[in-house]
Structure 1
Amino acid sequence: MMMRGASADAYAATSAALTGAGDAGTVGRDLFGVADLLRAEPALRRVATDASIESEAKAGLFREVLAGKVSELALAAVVVAVSQRWTASRDLADALERLGVVSVVQSSGGEAGRLEDELFAFGQVVQDNPPLRDALSDPARSREDKSRLLGDLLGDKVLPATVALVQQSLSGSYRTVGVALADYQKVASEVRGQGVATVRVARPLSDADRQRLADALSRSYEREIHINVVVDPDVLGGIRVEIGDDVIDGTVSSRLDEARRRLAG
């Protein structure tokens, strides 16, 4: 999510309002709920982002609508948010969702690394399971039905923060559940001040090899790098590393492809 112009300033102001004490997990889920409400109610969204309406009036409206339904800290952040000027009306809901993700990540405390791994792992499950992917993208199935499906799959096997983010991936604010989970993992890494590398190998890495690779990438990028390992037999051997727009391809398959291109040329 890229906020530009006035929306970037509004996002920063809303984020600053979340510095008080509170249950970060509850605050995050509350912000998800408000973001969902704004997307579902265009009239309310238009009022919230209408620069011609006095900030005090908008703040009063949202205090009335949300009183007793969300935590005090979440309400305070929403009041700040609707008092800001937004470049596009959709930016308000997007910003609240993003801040909700940040809050949920913070609620995982020292287990944020595990949270990242679980988000990535479940994203791979969705990607590699066409029936599940189709069920989650089926417009004929209600969000509640999809939520129950995910609840049955996850159970108590993962962190509460993982469950909250996987459930939020059903909101429809992203093109697919997989795209949402990938973005949430990036947010989790940003909260921890890390980068994310997707590493493709033919066989699983040992713990020692994984740590050596993480250390080498961290030195190169001058910050900690969280590694997602994808075992892909098509790479044949070697390793392919993707960090943002950077690609380091040392796989056997890429070298064979290069050799074929040279022969064909």
Structure 2
Amino acid sequence: MSRAQEHPAPDPAELGLTSDCGSCFGLCCVALPFAASSDFAVDKEAGRPCRNLQDDFRCGIHADLRQRGFSGCTVFDCFGAGQKVSQVTFGGQDWRRAPGTAREMFEAFPVMRQLHELLWYLAEALALPDARPVHAGLRGALDATERLTRGTAQELAALDMPAHRGEVNALLLRTSELVRAEVPGKKKDRRGADLFGARLKGAALRGANLRGACLIAADLQGADLRSADLIGADLRDADLRGADLTGSIFLTQSQLNAAKGDAATRLPAALSRPAHW
């Protein structure tokens, strides 16, 4: 039996990393703040329910969010943190019927989301054969992170999230190096680069390091982004029409949802073409 068969890559669905809004108490619509902008039609402070949140915790304008000025809601992904806090951390007790839980619930949600996002990246890394040299460390980090998600609200509030994220990120960075090392030729390093509105049409970015890069409104039409590391890259309104994202690593559905693309955009197998493309 091969090592891959002995330790199959974890399934994000089995880890509960797929959002299930029907099992959540509308936490993203209450706990998080947003400011009036091109993404949101109004201001809302943290802890105050969005005006569109109904009594059953559903959105009253869900089918028309983009048309009503709430495109930011359509790209947000909690990675399943909402239902974990609602159903596991607080055992199905909602903040409306038990208002005494509201503050702790709203504080736990953003911490849980960060933990679930790390789980998503770790699960992806464990599915990459080129990252085999660090699979043991990745699996240990995934198990430790999963245990943290099962802590109490008080334990989540006390968690040193920057320290934990730093430990996981070191493994993800090594994963990125191993995967991109398999790409022939010199790779571009644009980590954290300000590429706002950059003209990158047809750019050769295969195996590039674009971690945390600002690519807002960048023209990436027809760009070669195969095996590029896109963790944390801001792709809002980036033009990905005809771009090749095959094998790109640490790209999330929410990043794609925030960008522009078309039927010719090539995507990693695990991600879906946004409905508005």
User: TM-score band (shorter)?
Assistant: under 0.3
What TM-score, normalized to structure 1? 0.25
What TM-score, normalized to structure 2? 0.24
Question: Relative CO higher for 1 or 2, CA cutoff 8 Å, sep ≥ 6?
Answer: 1
Q: Which structure has greater strand proportion?
A: 1
Larger radius of gyration: 1
Q: Which structure has greater helix proportion?
A: 1
